Structure formats: structure tokens, C-alpha cells
Chain A
Amino acid sequence: MATLAHGTPEIAAEEPVNYLNVEHGWKSWLFTTDHKRIAVLYLISITLMFFVGGFMAVLFRINLLEPEGIFSAETYNRLFSMHGIVMVFFFLVPSIPATLANFLIPIMIGAKDLAFPRINLLSWYIYVVGAILTMYAVVRGGVDTGWTFYAPYSSTFSNSYVLAAAFGVFTAGFSSILTGLNFIVTVHKMRAPGMTWSRLPLFVWSNYATGLIQVLGTPVLAIVLLLLAFERIAHVGIFDPNIGGDPILFQHLFWFYSHPAVYIMILPGMGVISEIVSCFSRKRVFGYNFVAFSSMAIAVLSFVVWGHHMFITGESVYTGLAFSFLSFMVAVPSAIKVFNWTATMYKGSVSFDTPMLYAFGFIGLFTIGGLTGLFLATLATDVATHGTYFVVAHFHYVMVGGMVMAFLGGIHFWWPKMTGRMYSEAWSKFAALIVFIGFNLTFFPQFILGYMGMPRRYHAYPPEFQALNVLSSAGASVLGVGYIIPMIYLLWSLKYGPKAGPNPWGAAGLEWQTQSPPTTFNFDETPIVTEEAYNYGPLEEVIG
């Protein structure tokens, strides 16, 4: 933010007024109601949290270099728990919705702003308060319950700072609710004339679906964390088996939010991929309607599969059977998306710009992550793989291989729009490659480890697992480098990058028709939409 604010004055003379240079000073940022500025505030905050969470990961990957561990078991438990809490609630959940979607949805639908700009700013402040509470827990010594806060360990036995972290997550949840609420109302009520539902970019569809999940799921997380806090403070017995409370009930309510939450984390990424694949294949997304409705189907089905986290925790077998079946169903819309992206590229004019490289990474890695999810949704297989590194690898393939890839792809795709500057093509391609290699080195060995039976969440392991663990830790260091390189060249581009122009990719979509960076109200006059999304004509027209 400081870089942006200070970087603009010297070029202000030549540059037209845009949302970045229209006002200066910290007040113009902290009291802004411009969705684009709030998106930038979010981008800075979540990047900080990403590196906090990443730092924890570095530490525990160092620990796992040695079979007997380097840190104590307590330290290790706190490291992986804080990694999970920070990454899930403070990076992944707000990652694309609060930054890219916040920036782009109003522009994509031809609106001046989100429906409730002040609530949008409020959501950022709430996020910051939640992050501070959680950071307080980290500084005091962390939490050792895992990101899932399972009772009765978290409510009765843990000696760590559960309350501070739980309240941090509780608070951040409201920020997520407000973002989702804003998106839902904005998409319903703020579309420009002619922007019908069937003309919405798929990025808007997927974030609309995400908004529904945020609104419908997050309150349940709030209440279950509140019940947990009462239990921990006053020992009221709601989750205490000693007086007849049922810890499984905590898991039911927790996963009623937290399973849909993984779709909060992946759906916006799918939207980004739809935009990128279409742009760099110069083709309309294959089966637009199917891709749009698969987002909605995922949003709905995501709420009826949570029991697959509890197959071996005492849940009824019959319920497990139903949840297993429903979990298989949710694979259908996900597969539709993957097939349709692939079909979009077929006979398209594919170019290999950096965003497209991330999109390729996403499609491949998400497919692996999704298919291994089916192994885990199978009752019998889950008995063997539950609680092993197989699960860890599975969700990192979806969350990191999927969402972080999509996030980086989206940042690279819309960076010229957000900042008006281009970054180094060579460096960005190099970084994309490093991220892909580092990611696979880190997490593929974990599939094998899990299959061989290495349990997750232990600070030590049998010596025969060392080779694969060292490989994984080495991969993590490569991955870390892959994340730091974009930080450097993107910041560099703010000052030294060449000017991007309104539409550097020759992409379709309203966001590319306004200037880069856009003005405060996005358009000089409200656009009137007359064509479908992704209206990519023959190639020669686009280049001109």
C-alpha cells in the first residue's frame, strides 16, 4: 500500500486519474469505501497472513527432516495447528473473494461499486480484528488443537491459547459473511443494463455460489465456536461426554461449515480458471451453462457431504453410507468443470502466458486432488487412509495446487488491471514453473507416506519414512522460493513495470474495456451490455 501511495505522485502528471492516484494519504485508504481500494487492503493483509502461515510450515517441515523430530512434540503441535488456522481462515477463505472478486465483480457486471460499500470496509476491519486476535494467540504460544478445534481436547484438556484463536476465527467469520452477503446482493441487484444472468462471466457465477456458502455456512461455525468457548470457560458440559454431552455433535456442526468452506476456498479459483482458459484459448468457455450451473450445484451439494470427515469417529454406518454417496455426487459438477476447461482449449488458439501456466497447473493438480478425494469418500478406503498423510496430500493438492495456483494465476492475469503495470514475463514464467515443481516435490511424497501409513500430526516418525519426508521438506523450500519470486517482481513492476494499457491480453469482458487502473466509479458511464460473455471472435480481430 505504501508503495502504491508513494509510487504515484511522480507519474501523476502524465497519468489519468484512477482509483490509486485520486486521493493520497493513509486516511484515504483506511476510510475508503471504494471496492478496489478495499481489495488492495485485503490483498496486503492476506499476503502477510500467507507468509505467517508459510513460516509455520517452514518450521515444521524442518522438524520433519529428522525421524525423531527437532522440536518438542508440543511445539510441533502448535506449529501445524497455527499453520492450518492461519492458512484456512485468514488466507484461503478470503483469498480470491475478498481481493480479486472484490475488485472485479462490480467492474465485470458494470456497476460502480458493491451494493454495500461501507459494509465492505467493515468486513476488512473485522478481518483485521480477527487476525490480531489470532496473532495474539500465536505470540502467546499458539494453539495445539489442529485447525479443527475438536472437542473435548480443545474444550477441556488443551493448555494452549484456544480461546484467543477461536475468537479470532469467530470474528473473521463475520468478515466472510459480510463479503458473501455483499456479493449476493450485488450480483442480484447491481448488474448493468443488458447484463443478464446468462451473460455473467463465470468468475461472477462462481463467486456468487461462494457467497451463498459463506452466508449459509459461516454462522454455524460462529455458534459452534461460541459453544466451545462456553464449554472451555465454564465447563457447562455441552460437549463433555462425562455428563452426557456428545463431542461428535461438535464435529457435525463444525463440518457443516467447514466442509462447504473448502468449496469457499476452491470455487472462486475455478472462476479464475474459467476466465484465464477462455482468454488464452481465445474461445468461449465450452458449455457455459454447464460450468455456471456446476458452480451452483457444488454450492448446494457441498452442504450435504460433511459426514465424510467423520466415518471413523463413531458416526452411524448408515449415515456414513449416505454421506459417502453424496460425496461422490459432488465430484460430478467438479468433473464437468475440468472437462469443459479442457474442451475449451481443444481447437483453441492456446498461448502460454503466465496466467495460463498457472491455469494448467490448477487443472492438473486439482484433478489429482479431486480424484484422491473420491478415495477418501469411499467408506472402506477411508478407514485405512483417515488421519494419514494421504489426507494431508489430498487437501493440499486442492487447496494449494488448486486455490493458491488459481490465486497466483488470477493475480498475474489482473495485475495489469489492478496496477496499470506489466511484470516481467520471463521471471513470472520461471516462478510459475518453480511453484509447480516445488509443489509436487512437497506433496506427492505425502501421498506415498500416507498410503504407507504415516499418521498426520505427529512430530516424529519411523526412520524408514525419512527419505520421503526429506524430499517433501526439500520441495517445500523450492515452493517457498516460488512464492517469494512473484512478490519481488510484482512489487518491482509497481514502479518500473511498463504501462499495461486497458487490455494487455486482448481479453473479453467489461473489466478490460475500462482504463487500467480503473477510475473510482469504474466506468465513465454505465455500460450497456449487448453480447454474451467470452465473445472471442476470430484471432486476427483480437490482435488489432
Chain B
Amino acid sequence: MTSHAHIPNVRTLVIVWLALLCLTALTTTVSYLELGWLNIVVALAIAVLKASMVVWIFMAVRYTTSLTKLFVVAGLVWLGIMILLTASDYTSRDWTYQPQPWSHNAAAGASR
């Protein structure tokens, strides 16, 4: 276990640390700008970037086996399955054709 262990470089760790701090400042600043739906996209993109840096360098996934990498990816994919399939229900509920009560302009309901 000693022979193949990767010993991280202090400089790399410090650079990542500084980058994480800068990105925190960036995400806070951006949240005060009006970007519409892009706000959440930017916020999540920055968070994903920060998390990736922690995983890749601090948690040293970069130097682990491809099996570990596969497990990390699988965990995220499963999280994605849970959120996306659940959200698919909520986003498509309104799509369903709802017949209007018929005193209530039946023609408008039918043409929807």
C-alpha cells in the first residue's frame, strides 16, 4: 500500500483551496445579479465545479482506481435518476388534458 500511494503536492492543494474560495465569492456575487433562469444554472454549475475539485484533488479520486471512479459516477447517476424521474411526474402533471365542466365553455376546453 505504501508503494503505490500518491502523496499530494502542497502547491496543488493550496491552489485548489484558493480556487474554492474564489468560486464561493463568485457564486455569492452572481446571485445578486438578475439573470432569470440562468441564476440557478450558474449557481449549480459553480457548485458542481467546486465539488468536482474537492473530489478530484482533495479526495484524490484522480489517483485512485477506475473502479472507485466508476462508483463515484454511479452514485451521482443514481441521484440523478431519483431527482429526474420524480421531477418528470411534477413537470408533466399539467400536460394532461382536463375536460372542462360543460357549462363552462366546452369549446374552449376541447380545443386545448
Residues on A lying within 8 angstroms of B by beta carbon are 188, 216, 220, 248-249, 252-253, 256, 303-304, 306-307, 310, 314-319, 322-323
Q: Are A316 and B82 in contact (CB-based, < 8 A)?
A: no
Q: Which of B78, B82, B95 is in CB contact (< 8 Å) with A318?
A: B95
Q: Are B93 and A256 in contact (CB-based, < 8 A)?
A: no
Q: Which of B75, B91, B93, B95 has the most CB of A within 10 A?
A: B93
Give Cα distance in the complex from A249 to B81, angstroms. Answer: 15
Give Cα distance in the complex from A303 to B81, angstroms. Answer: 8
Give Cα distance in the complex from A306 to B89, angstroms. Answer: 12
Minimal beta-carbon separation of B67 from chain A (angstroms): 7
Q: Are B86 and A316 in contact (CB-based, < 8 A)?
A: no
Write out the residue numbers on chain A whose beta carbons fall within 8 Å of the beta carbon of B89: 248, 252, 307, 310, 315-316, 319
Q: Are A316 and B67 in contact (CB-based, < 8 A)?
A: no
User: DSSP majority for the B interface?
Assistant: helix
Q: Are A249 and B95 in contact (CB-based, < 8 A)?
A: no
Q: Which of A248, A253, A316, A322 has the most CB of B within 10 A?
A: A316
Q: Are B81 and A316 in contact (CB-based, < 8 A)?
A: no
Write out the residue numbers on chain A whose beta carbons fall within 8 Å of the beta carbon of B82: 220, 253, 256, 303
Give Cα distance in the complex from A502 to B77, angstroms. Answer: 44
Write out the residue numbers on chain A whose beta carbons fall within 8 Å of the beta carbon of B88: 316, 318-319, 322
Write out the residue numbers on chain B whose beta carbons fall within 8 Å of the beta carbon of A323: 85
Give Cα distance in the complex from A241 to B31, angstroms. Answer: 31
A-B CB contacts (within 8 Å), total count: 46
- How many residues does chain B have at the interface if contact means C-beta atoms less than 8 Å apart? 16
Minimal beta-carbon separation of A379 from chain B (angstroms): 13
Q: Are B78 and A316 in contact (CB-based, < 8 A)?
A: no
Give Cα distance in the complex from A252 to B90, angstroms. Answer: 11
Q: Are A316 and B96 in contact (CB-based, < 8 A)?
A: yes
Minimal beta-carbon separation of B42 from chain A (angstroms): 27
Give Cα distance in the complex from A494 to B101, angstroms. Answer: 72
Q: Is B92 among interface residues, defined by CB-CB distance under 8 A? A: yes
Q: Which A residue's beta carbon lies closest to that of B84?
A: A304
- Across the A-B interface, the 3 shortest Cβ-Cβ residue pairs: A316-B92, A318-B92, A319-B89
Give Cα distance in the complex from A188 to B66, angstroms. Answer: 13
- A188-B67, A216-B78, A304-B81 as given contacts; A249 in contact with B96, CB under 8 Å: no
Q: Are B93 and A307 in contact (CB-based, < 8 A)?
A: no
Give Cα distance in the complex from A253 to B85, angstroms. Answer: 11
Give Cα distance in the complex from A307 to B88, angstroms. Answer: 10
Q: Which of A220, A248, A307 is in CB contact (< 8 Å) with B85?
A: A307
Give Cα distance in the complex from A80 to B89, angstroms. Answer: 30
Give chain B interface residues in 69-85, CB to chain A under 8 Å: 74-75, 78, 81-82, 85
Q: Are B93 and A316 in contact (CB-based, < 8 A)?
A: yes
Minimal beta-carbon separation of A223 from chain B (angstroms): 11
- A188-B67, A216-B78 as given contacts; A304 in contact with B93, CB under 8 Å: no
Indicate with 1 or 0, residue by residue over B90-112, a CB within 8 angstroms of chain A CB atoms: 11110110000000000000000
Give chain B interface residues in 11-46, CB to chain A under 8 Å: none
Write out the residue numbers on chain B whose beta carbons fall within 8 Å of the beta carbon of A310: 89
Q: A249-B86, A256-B82 are in contact. List 10 more A-B contacts (CB 8 A).
A: A253-B82, A303-B78, A304-B85, A306-B85, A310-B89, A316-B89, A316-B92, A316-B95, A316-B96, A322-B88
Write out the residue numbers on chain A whose beta carbons fall within 8 Å of the beta carbon of B86: 249, 252-253, 256
Give Cα distance in the complex from A188 to B68, angstroms. Answer: 11
Write out the residue numbers on chain B whose beta carbons fall within 8 Å of the beta carbon of A316: 88-93, 95-96
Give Cα distance in the complex from A386 to B82, angstroms. Answer: 24
Give Cα distance in the complex from A303 to B89, angstroms. Answer: 15
Give Cα distance in the complex from A126 to B82, angstroms. Answer: 27
Q: Which of A188, A314, A318, A319 has the most CB of B within 10 A?
A: A319
Write out the residue numbers on chain B whose beta carbons fall within 8 Å of the beta carbon of A253: 82, 86
Give Cα distance in the complex from A249 to B87, angstroms. Answer: 10
Give Cα distance in the complex from A252 to B88, angstroms. Answer: 11
Q: Which A residue's beta carbon lies closest to that of B78?
A: A216
A-B contact pairs, 13 of them (CB 8 A): A216-B74, A216-B75, A249-B86, A252-B86, A253-B82, A303-B78, A303-B81, A310-B89, A316-B90, A316-B92, A318-B96, A319-B92, A323-B85
Give Cα distance in the complex from A112 to B85, angstroms. Answer: 42
Give Cα distance in the complex from A188 to B85, angstroms. Answer: 30
Give Cα distance in the complex from A216 to B86, angstroms. Answer: 16
Write out the residue numbers on chain B whose beta carbons fall within 8 Å of the beta carbon of A322: 85, 88
Give Cα distance in the complex from A188 to B88, angstroms. Answer: 35
Give Cα distance in the complex from A253 to B81, angstroms. Answer: 12
Q: Which A residue's beta carbon lies closest to that of B96?
A: A317
Give Cα distance in the complex from A249 to B86, angstroms. Answer: 8
Write out the residue numbers on chain A whose beta carbons fall within 8 Å of the beta carbon of B81: 303-304
Minimal beta-carbon separation of B70 from chain A (angstroms): 11
Write out the residue numbers on chain B whose beta carbons fall within 8 Å of the beta carbon of A318: 88, 92, 95-96
Q: Which B residue's beta carbon lies closest to that of A246?
A: B90
